[in-house]
Amino acid sequence: MTTLVETLRDPVRKRAIVVDGVALIDSEVASKRGLSGRVLRAGYKAVRTLVPQFTAVALDRLLPDFAPAVDPHYAKARESGDVRAYFLDRAGEIADSLLEVTDDKARRAQNRAIKTIYNNLRAKAREHVIAAMPGLADLVVKHVP
């Protein structure tokens, strides 16, 4: 079985993952409704205004740290025979694994604006990552052979 860590060693495949990952993030942010959705969309827009390629750059930089967090879940999901169902059933655990990575990065961030925006949005982050789990499962299945 190929892992996400191994897949990312191929620059062409990594770039494809980043492109699809940015599309997933953009779609998830755009789908948020209500007051908290407005706050999220505004924060995302603010970040993208400061650094237009922020999402792609951030995802490209985070993928090497996300991959080891996702790989154990993906291995178990493949063993289960239904990656998507496994990811949905364990969405909270997988979200926590991913958020440990971003929390660590945010703690060490030097850009105060980015750090402030992340900290303001963090309270709802787990909920948003869980909501994105079907798309994440599909992305991993698509790109990791």
Looking at residue 46, its amino acid is A
- In this predicted model, what pLDDT tens digit does every residue of 27-77 receive, in sequence order? 999 999 998 889 889 888 988 898 899 899 989 999 999 999 999 999 999
Tokens, residue 35: 């007051």
Q: What is the separation, in whole angstroms, between the first and last Cα of the chain?
A: 7
- Count structural domains, the chain: 1
Average pLDDT, the chain: 93
- Domain of residue 94, residue span: 4-143
Burial (CB count <10 Å: 0-12, 13-18, 19+), residue 20: middle
Residues composing the chain: 145
Q: Tell me which of 32-36, 77-81, 94-98 is least confident.
A: 32-36
pLDDT value, residue 37:
86
